[in-house]
Amino acid sequence: MNNRGRGILRRLASHKSAVVGASILLFFAILAVFAPLIATHDPREADVSARLKGWSVDHYFGTDGVGRDIFSRIVYGSQVSLKVGIIAMTLSISVGALLGILAGYYGGWLDNIIMRLMDMMLPLPSILLAMVIVAILGTSLTNAIIAVSIVYIPQYARILRAAVLKIREQDYVTAARVIGASDFRILWNAILPNCVAPLIVQATLGMGEAILIAAGLSFLGLGAEVGEPEWGAMLNENRQLIRRAPWTVMTPGVAIFLTVLGFNLLGDALRDVLDPQLKMQGKTR
Amino acid sequence: MSNTPHEAILDVRHLKKYFPIEKGFLRRVAGYVRAVDDVSFSVRKGQTMGLVGESGCGKTTTAWTIIRLHEATAGEVYFRVRDGEILDMAALEKGRLKEIRRYMGVVFQDPYASLNPRKTVLDIVADPLLNYGVKRGEREARVAELLTMVGLDPSTMPRYPHAFSGGQRQRIGIARALALSPSLLIADEPVSALDVSVQAQILNLLSDLRDKLGLSYLFIAHDLSVIQHICDRVAVMYMGSIVEEADTEVLFSQPAHPYTASLMAALPVPDPHKPWNPKLNGEVGKPSETGSGCVFAHRCPYADQICHDETPTLETKTTDTKDSHLVACHFADELQLDA
C-alpha cells in the first residue's frame, strides 16, 4: 500500500488541477483551524457606528448592514462549511456504503428493496429533497447537515453496489470463500479495499456539493440561525444590499464558489489518478 | 465401480447441477441448463484424477458443486476426512462446511484474478490460517515454509501480487491452497492461463508436491497434453456428462468413445508435413436442449438410430482386459478407434 500510495501522491502532485484544488482547500482548512487567530473582529459583534463600510485596513472586506466585520465572518464561516462538508459526507458514505454493499453482495429481494428506495430518492432535485427533510425535522444547522447526508445516500449506495457487483465475481473473492472466510471477512477484507477508489472520488466531489446545498438551505433560511457566520446565511442577510454594498454579498459568494471549485478540481484529479481507464487522459492534461 | 470406497478420497455419485432458465417479468422457469448431468467418478488417495473436456462442458461447475460453491441439484459427494470419517459434502449443513473445507484446497485458473491486488503475499497466503485461528506468530513461519515449498523466496512476503509474473502468482495461489494442509487439491485449469514454458514448471511442482505431501488431486483441464502429463486417471466430459473414463495410458492408447478419439485427433502435431484433420463437424449442442439419446449423437460420425433414441450409460468396456475402462457409447465394443 505504501508504494502504491506514494505513486498516487506523485501523480497527484504533477496534476495541475489537483494542485490548484488542494491549495484552495488547504487555504480554507487553515482559515477554519486558525480562525480565532486570523479573524480581526468578533464575527457576531455588531458595531452600528461602522455600518456598510467598504474595504479598508480596519475591515479587510468591509462591514455588513449591522456593522459586523465581513472578513472575520468569512473566516469563521469556513469552519461551518468544512464541518458541514465533512460530517455530511461521513454520514452519507457510512449509510450509503453499507446499503450499497448489502444490496450488491446479497442481491435478491434485499437488493430490490434497497435499490428501489434509492431510486425513489434519486430523481428529486437534491435541494428540494433537502428542503422537505428540513421542513420535517425543523430548521437548524444540524438538521440541514442531516438533510444533506440523506440526500446523498443514494449516490453512494449505487456506486458501492456497482463496485461490489463487479468485485464479487472476482476469483479472489471465491478463493476467500473456499478457504473458509465469513461473509463479514469477505466484505471487509476482499471486497471493500477494492471499492475505495470510486468512493474517494465521489466523496471529494460530493463534499463540494454538500457545502453548496447546505449554503443553499441557509440562504433559504432553513439552515444556520440568523446572525451566525455561515456563508449561505450571509448571502441571505445582505441580499437587499446588493446595489448599495455589493461586497457584502460578493465575498461570501466568492468563498462558496472557491470551496466548491476546490473540491471539484481535486475530485476530478483523483478520478484521473485512481481510475485506470482514465489514467492516460489524466497524464496528457 | 471398481474403486472400493476405502481407497477413494472423493467419491462423486450421480451429481447433478441444473441451472434454471428464468424468463419474463415474473421469473418463470422456462427450462434448465443441465450443466452437470449425472456425473459419477472418484479420486483415489494419492492419485491425480483428470477431468477433461471443451469449455462449457461442465468441468468447473462439477468442481464448484463438489466444494459447495454451487448447491447440487441431486447426487452425493462422499469425502474422506483425515480421520477416515466419510461425509457427504452435498448434504452437509452449511454451518459445517467450513470445518470440511480446510481439507480441500483450490487452485484457480487465472492467477491474475485469484489474488487480491490490495493484499501482500503474506496476507494472501496467511488468509486461510487466519480463518482457522492460527496465531499471528505462527502464521508468518508457516507462510515462509509454504513459499519455500512452492519455490518462492520467503523474503517476497511483503510484496503485492502485481510484482510477480504469472507463474509466480500461480505458485502463490498453490501456497495458499496448501496452507491448511489439505488432503485433496482441486485444481481448476491451473496452467491454462500460463505460458507453455511456465506450464511445465507448475505441473512439475504440482507432481512433486503431491508425492511429497501425499495429496490427491482433482485436476481440471481442457488441454489433453497437460492431462496426459500429470493425471493417473482421466474422465472425459461432454455436455455435462462423462462419456469415457479410464487410466491415462489406456485412454490415450485405446480411446473407446468417438468423442475422445476426435479430441485426440484434434491435437496439433508438431510436423508441418503431416496433415492435420480434426474429425469433428458441427457445434456443441445447447445444454438446455438435451433430450433423449446420446449427448454426442448429432456430431458423432458413427451415430445410428439407437444413438438418437436411447441414452447410453457409462459401462465397463467388455472387450477390454482392463476392467476400469468405462465408456458411455452403444457401440463401445464394436468401434475400432485409433488414438
Q: What is the CATH number of domain A2-41+51-284?
A: 1.10.3720.10
**Which residues touch B174 (CB under 8 Å, ≥6 apart)?**
B107, B150, B190, B202, B205, B206, B209
% of chain A surpassing 70 pLDDT: 95
Domain ranges of chain B: 5-103+182-327
User: A-chain residues within 8 Å CB-CB of B174?
Assistant: none
CB contact under 8 A, B118 and A194: yes
Cell representation of residue A42:
468578533
Residue in chain A nearest B129 by alpha carbon: A179
- Residue B166 above 70 pLDDT? yes
Cell representation of residue A222:
432553513
- Residue A285 above 50 pLDDT? no
CA distance B176 to B127: 8
- Residue B254 above 90 pLDDT? no
pLDDT attached to residue A275? 67
CA distance A72 to A42: 7
CA distance B54 to B71: 23
Q: Using alpha carbons only, what angle is made at residue B249 by residues B246 and B254, rounded to the nearest 5 degrees?
A: 70
pLDDT attached to residue B84? 77
pLDDT attached to residue B118? 85
pLDDT attached to residue A281? 44
Interface test with B, best of A179, A184, A185, A194 (most B CBs within 10 A): A179
Residue pairs spanning A and B at CB distance below 8 A:
59
pLDDT attached to residue B82? 74
CA distance B186 to B63: 7
% of chain A surpassing 90 pLDDT: 43
User: B-chain residues within 8 Å CB-CB of A175?
Assistant: 106, 108, 114-115, 173, 176
Q: Mind telling me how many Å the CA of B99 is from chain A's nearest CA?
A: 8
- Residue B4 above 50 pLDDT? no
| A53-79 residue pLDDT tens | 888 888 888 888 888 899 999 999 999
The better pLDDT of the pair A144, A65 is held by A144
Q: Mind telling me how many Å the CA of A152 is from chain B's nearest CA?
A: 28
Q: In the predicted model, what is the mean pLDDT of residues B179-197?
A: 91
Main-chain dihedrals φ then ψ at residue B161, nearest 5 degrees: -55, -30
A181 touching chain B per CB within 8 A: yes
Nearest alpha-carbon partner for A64 in A231, A220, A226, A247 = A247
Q: Tell me the pLDDT of chain B averaged across its residues.
A: 86
Alpha-carbon Rg for chain A in angstroms: 22
Main-chain dihedrals φ then ψ at residue B102, nearest 5 degrees: -70, -20
CB contact under 8 A, B108 and A181: no
Interface test with A, best of B65, B100, B118, B170 (most A CBs within 10 A): B118
Interface test with A, best of B116, B130, B146 (most A CBs within 10 A): B116
User: Residue B151 class from Cβ within 10 Å (0-12 exposed, 13-18 middle, 19+ buried)?
Assistant: middle
In terms of residues, how long is chain B? 339
- How far, CA to CA in Å, does B274 sit from each of B258, B260, B265? 22, 21, 12
Cell representation of residue A30:
487553515
% of chain B surpassing 90 pLDDT: 38
pLDDT attached to residue A66? 85
- Residue B329 above 90 pLDDT? no
- Strand pairing of B315-316 and B326-327? antiparallel
User: A-chain residues within 8 Å CB-CB of B98?
Assistant: 180
Domain ranges of chain A: 2-41+51-284
Q: Mind telling me how many Å the CA of B32 is from chain A's nearest CA?
A: 20
The better pLDDT of the pair A141, A227 is held by A141
CB contact under 8 A, B101 and A176: no
pLDDT attached to residue B197? 87
**Which residues touch A30 (CB under 8 Å, ≥6 apart)?**
none
B127 touching chain A per CB within 8 A: yes
Exposure class string for A34-67: b at 16+ Cβ within 10 A, else e: ebeebbebebeebeeebebbeeeeebbbbbbbeb
- Looking at the DSSP bridge assignments, the partners of residue B78 are B11, B88
pLDDT attached to residue A46? 84
B157 touching chain A per CB within 8 A: no
Which stretches within B111-192 are classed as H helix?
Answer: 121-131, 136-149, 166-178
Q: Max alpha carbon distance in chain A (Å)? A: 76
pLDDT attached to residue A284? 42
Where residue B287 falls among pLDDT bands split at 50, 70, 90?
A: low
pLDDT attached to residue B299? 82
CB contact under 8 A, B127 and A193: no
pLDDT attached to residue B115? 92
User: B-chain residues within 8 Å CB-CB of A172?
Assistant: 113-116
- Strand pairing of B104-107 and B74-80? unpaired
* Residue carrying C-alpha cell 487410466: B247
Taking the CA atoms of B66, B69, B75 and B79 in sequence, report the sign of the dihedral they define: positive
**Which residues touch A157 (CB under 8 Å, ≥6 apart)?**
A96, A97, A99, A100, A103, A114, A115, A118
A176 touching chain B per CB within 8 A: yes
- Looking at the DSSP bridge assignments, the partners of residue B17 are B36
- Residue A133 above 90 pLDDT? yes
pTM: 0.79
- Residue A87 above 90 pLDDT? yes
A174 touching chain B per CB within 8 A: yes
Q: How far is CA B233 from the centre of its chain?
A: 12
Exposure class string for A117-140: b at 16+ Cβ within 10 A, else e: ebeebbeeebbebbbebbeeeebe
Q: Is the ipTM of this complex over 0.85?
A: no
CB contact under 8 A, B113 and A180: no
| B30-89 residue pLDDT tens | 888 888 988 999 999 889 999 998 888 889 999 999 999 889 999 999 998 877 788 888
* Residue carrying C-alpha cell 441571505: A236
A172 touching chain B per CB within 8 A: yes
CB contact under 8 A, B104 and A178: yes
Q: Mind telling me how many Å the CA of A266 is from chain B's nearest CA?
A: 24
pLDDT attached to residue A3? 64
pLDDT attached to residue A280? 45
CB contact under 8 A, B98 and A4: no
A170 touching chain B per CB within 8 A: yes
- Within 132-151 of A, beta carbons closer than 8 Å to B belong to none
Nearest alpha-carbon partner for B78 in B70, B90, B67, B69 = B90
Q: Tell me the pLDDT of chain A averaged across its residues.
A: 87
Architecture (CATH level 2) of domain B5-103+182-327: 3-Layer(aba) Sandwich (3.40)
CB contact under 8 A, A171 and B67: no
- Residue B333 above 90 pLDDT? no
CB contact under 8 A, B128 and A177: no
Q: In the predicted model, what is the mean pLDDT of residues B290-312?
A: 81
- How far, CA to CA in Å, does B213 sit from each of B109, B181, B184, B300, B307? 22, 8, 11, 42, 45
